[in-house]
């Protein structure tokens, strides 16, 4: 396919702006400067020692950074120029679903009638919020094919641990003490870490030569001590687990539960529902599938939806519609308790609901279709440049491998990823999943245009073409970003995690 018109999406290397080292706010600080302006209250002043007692009062001020408002604006604006983002350009970071975040959803969350509400205000005074949360729960259940959900978990990993505690509560209610949870060797690292915190042992099952769960190995690992299995489907190599019904039957026959890691839900919304595949517990990453902005590493939101037999164990209290049409907080009958200080990352939840409402059932299905279309197009487009790890149709992400490139030129997957920054694109995820050698995991998402995909493909072709003659240049890429390759080993060896540890002169 010939893509014409201007290529889009290049932004990682911005000439000029963002290339100067920025002083820290502490280096910019001048004692005595202040930007703060507080309300005139008319409240009488009193001494702290009189109010709380001298033993509690600090004998010196805690030093912050003292800046004028103008310096504050300059500092953080210049820092922002040293930062890549979805708004700036394509961000095909596999497994992270870095799609465009609609500004409308941010505007919804900026409404003071939502974000100016205290979480401890009584239900009678916060009916709008409770209605919103109940509506979102219903829609997330419709999307996943489940019965009920908790909106409390603040991120995917929090959802995983919540799900494992639900698994534990379910088995305990049946008087069963099961100690192991199975995860495939292709799983995200959060899965085994959550299993440990859930009080379980990890049993790893291998993938087969097709990149899928080895059903026979799984059957061999199952037993009366297995609490369940955690699966991502499509899995982390971007492939759909076609034997999912057989996997579900095997796990259920052994008395175990199926946990769905929703990291890759974007591939299947409106096409397949986890509930219909036999899953009992599902977490969703709203900051992935439902486009809430990731904030440079959070906030996210990781609601957990469950099948009917697990609903009574969900965290609570939950926003619930009462018989008279009003809403109240109700704890499920055998709730495992709270997993968040309040009601979850409410503003993230509101954004996700706005996104769902704009798209509707039909629009969400198109999202999945276009995400899979873009990934497959990119995989096919690059087939002669960087082959796919598994030569078959992928879902929303394409896992390519630089094994032969490395063998022929010495240029590694990491070099390709870093060189892409110079070409104006964010890197793909590298060296994950662990079962693929020299993995480069591209997730273009549905919101990138064909022109951007073509520009990305051409950039990769150009890097690979240069590998034979300019390997050394690529080993040291990127060259045109705000900083070049950073010395990670030095950071770990000489830990400087604060300005004070740096002890600047």
Partner 1 sequence: MADYLPHTDEEVRDMLDFLGLNSLEHLFAHIPSAVRLSGGLDIEAGLSEPDVAAIFAGYGAANIARATAMTCFAGAGAYDHEVPAVVKALGSRSEFVTAYTPYQPEVAQGVLQAIFEYQTLVSRLSGLPIANASLYDGATALVEALNMAGGATKRSRMIISSGVHPHWRAVARTFAAGTGHEIVEVPLRDGLTQWHSVDTSDAAAIVAAYPNYLGVVEDLSEARALASAAGGLFVVAGDPVAAGVLKSAGDWGADVFVGEGQPFGTPLAFGGPYLGLFACTMDQVRRLPGRIVGETIDSNGRRSFVTTLRAREQDIRREKATSNVCTNQTLMAVTAAIQLGWLGTSGLRDVATRCAEGAHYLFDATTAIEGVEAVSSQPFLREFALRLTRPAADVIADMAASGVLAGVAASALAHGGDPSLDEIENVLIIAVTEKRTKVELDAYVELLRKAVA
Query: 68 to 107, contacts with partner 1 by CB under 8 A?
Result: 69, 72-73, 75-77, 79-88, 91, 93, 96, 98, 100-102, 104, 106-107
Query: Cα(62)–Cα(55) distance, rounded to whole angstroms?
Result: 17
Report if residue 334 touches partner 1, rule: CB under 8 A. no
* Nearer to partner 1 (CB atom), residue 66 or residue 403: 66
Report if residue 180 touches partner 1, rule: CB under 8 A. no
* Nearer to partner 1 (CB atom), residue 404 or residue 488: 488
Q: By CB under 8 A, which span of 122-130, 209-217, 218-226, 466-474 interacts with partner 1?
A: 122-130
Encoded tokens for 292: 């809430």
* Nearer to partner 1 (CB atom), residue 465 or residue 491: 491
* Nearer to partner 1 (CB atom), residue 360 or residue 408: 360
Least gap, CB of 322 to partner 1 (angstroms) = 15
Encoded tokens for 211: 């990149």
**For residues 85-121, b (16+ Cβ closer than 10 Å) or e, as one string?**
ebebbbbbbbbbbbbebbeebeebbeeeeeeeeeeee
Report if residue 55 touches partner 1, rule: CB under 8 A. yes
Report if residue 217 touches partner 1, rule: CB under 8 A. no
Least gap, CB of 33 to partner 1 (angstroms) = 7
* Nearer to partner 1 (CB atom), residue 214 or residue 423: 423
Q: By CB under 8 A, which span of 206-214, 217-225, 303-311, 425-433 interacts with partner 1?
A: 425-433
Report if residue 240 touches partner 1, rule: CB under 8 A. yes
Report if residue 426 touches partner 1, rule: CB under 8 A. yes
* Nearer to partner 1 (CB atom), residue 51 or residue 407: 51
Query: Cα(179)–Cα(92) distance, rounded to whole angstroms?
Result: 38
Applying CB under 8 A, among 206, 220, 224, 298 the residue interacting with partner 1 is 298
Report if residue 128 touches partner 1, rule: CB under 8 A. yes
Considering only CA atoms, which of 230, 226, 219 is closest in space to residue 157?
A: 230
* Nearer to partner 1 (CB atom), residue 42 or residue 384: 42
Report if residue 503 touches partner 1, rule: CB under 8 A. no
Q: By CB under 8 A, which span of 112-120, 254-262, 303-311, 436-444 interacts with partner 1?
A: 112-120
* Nearer to partner 1 (CB atom), residue 87 or residue 404: 87
Least gap, CB of 469 to partner 1 (angstroms) = 21
Least gap, CB of 219 to partner 1 (angstroms) = 19
* Nearer to partner 1 (CB atom), residue 231 or residue 269: 269
Tell me phi and psi for residue 330, to 5 degrees. -130, 130
Q: Is residue 127 classed exposed, middle or buried when 0-12, 13-18 and 19+ CB atoms within 10 A define those classes?
A: middle
Least gap, CB of 143 to partner 1 (angstroms) = 6
Report if residue 343 touches partner 1, rule: CB under 8 A. yes
DSSP-derived letter for residue 189 is T
Applying CB under 8 A, among 244, 388, 399, 436 the residue interacting with partner 1 is 244
Applying CB under 8 A, among 1, 6, 16, 323 the residue interacting with partner 1 is 1
The strand pair at 398-401 and 439-442 is best described as antiparallel
Report if residue 198 touches partner 1, rule: CB under 8 A. yes
Give the contacts of 303 (CB within 8 A, at least 6 positions apart): 136, 137, 140, 149, 150, 151, 152, 153, 159, 283, 284, 286, 344, 349
DSSP calls for 296-335 = TT------EEE-GGGGGGS-S-EEEE-TTS-EEEE--TT-
Q: Please, which of residues 355-414 interact with partner 1 by CB under 8 A?
A: 356-367, 369-370, 372-374, 376-377, 380-381, 392-393
Encoded tokens for 101: 């975040």
Q: Please, which of residues 455-484 interact with partner 1 by CB under 8 A?
A: 476, 478, 481-484
Applying CB under 8 A, among 418, 438, 457, 460 the residue interacting with partner 1 is 418
Query: Cα(228)–Cα(253) distance, rounded to whole angstroms?
Result: 11
Q: By CB under 8 A, which span of 25-33, 206-214, 217-225, 463-471 interacts with partner 1?
A: 25-33
Considering only CA atoms, which of 186, 230, 233 is closest in space to residue 207?
A: 186
Judged by DSSP in three states, 180 sits in strand
Q: How many residues bind partner 1 (CB under 8 A)?
A: 206
Distance (Å) of CA 390 to CA 173, 180, 247, 256:
42, 30, 21, 30
Write out 337-368 in H/E/C secondary structure. CCCCCCCCCHHHHHHHHHHHHHHHHHHHHHHH
Stated length of the chain = 505
Are the C-beta atoms of 135 and 353 separated by less than 8 Å?
Answer: yes
């Amino acid at each position: 396919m010939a893509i014409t018109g201007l290529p889009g999406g290049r932004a990682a290397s911005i000439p000029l702006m963002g290339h100067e080292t920025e002083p820290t706010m502490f280096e910019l600080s001048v004692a005595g400067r202040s930007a703060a302006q507080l309300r005139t209250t008319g409240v009488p002043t009193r001494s702290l020692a009189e109010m709380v007692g001298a033993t509690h009062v600090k004998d010196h001020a805690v030093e912050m950074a003292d800046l004028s408002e103008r310096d504050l604006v300059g500092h953080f604006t210049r820092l922002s120029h040293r930062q890549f983002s979805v708004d700036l350009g394509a961000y095909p970071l596999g497994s992270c679903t870095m799609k465009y975040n609609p500004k409308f959803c941010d505007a919804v969350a900026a409404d003071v009638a939502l974000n100016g509400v205290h979480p401890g205000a009584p239900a009678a005074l916060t009916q709008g919020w409770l209605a919103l949360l109940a509506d979102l729960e219903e829609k997330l259940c419709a999307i996943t094919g489940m019965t009920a959900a908790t909106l409390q978990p603040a991120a995917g990993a929090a959802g995983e641990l919540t799900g494992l505690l639900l698994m534990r509560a379910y088995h305990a209610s049946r008087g069963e003490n099961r100690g192991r949870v199975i995860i495939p060797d292709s799983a995200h690292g959060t899965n085994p870490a959550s299993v440990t915190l859930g009080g379980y042992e990890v049993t790893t099952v291998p993938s087969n030569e097709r990149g899928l769960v080895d059903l026979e190995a799984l059957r061999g690992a199952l037993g009366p001590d297995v609490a369940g299995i955690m699966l991502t489907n499509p899995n982390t190599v971007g492939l759909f687990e076609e034997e999912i019904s057989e996997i579900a039957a095997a796990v259920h026959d052994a008395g175990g539960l199926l946990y769905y890691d929703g990291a890759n839900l974007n591939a299947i919304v409106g096409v397949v529902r986890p509930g219909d595949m036999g899953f009992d517990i599902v977490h969703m990453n709203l900051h992935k599938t439902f486009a809430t902005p990731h904030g440079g590493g959070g906030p996210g939101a990781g609601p957990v939806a469950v099948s009917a037999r697990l609903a009574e164990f969900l965290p609570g209290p939950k926003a619930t519609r009462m018989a008279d049409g009003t809403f109240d907080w109700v704890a499920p009958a055998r709730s495992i308790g709270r997993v968040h200080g309040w009601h979850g990352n409410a503003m993230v939840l509101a954004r996700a609901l706005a996104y769902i409402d704009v798209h509707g059932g039909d629009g969400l299905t198109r999202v999945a279709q276009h995400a899979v279309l873009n990934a497959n197009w990119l995989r096919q487009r690059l087939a002669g440049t960087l082959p796919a790890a598994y030569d078959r149709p992928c879902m929303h992400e394409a896992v390519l491998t630089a094994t032969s490139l490395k063998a022929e030129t010495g240029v590694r997957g990491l070099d390709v990823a870093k060189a892409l920054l110079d070409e104006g694109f964010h890197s793909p995820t590298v060296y994950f999943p662990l079962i693929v050698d020299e993995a480069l995991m591209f997730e273009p998402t549905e919101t990138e245009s064909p022109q951007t995909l073509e520009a990305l493909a051409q950039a990769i072709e150009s890097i690979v073409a240069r590998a034979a003659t300019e390997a050394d240049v690529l080993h040291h890429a990127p060259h045109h970003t705000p900083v070049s390759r950073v010395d990670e080993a030095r950071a770990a060896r000489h830990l400087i995690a604060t300005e004070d540890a740096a002890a600047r002169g």
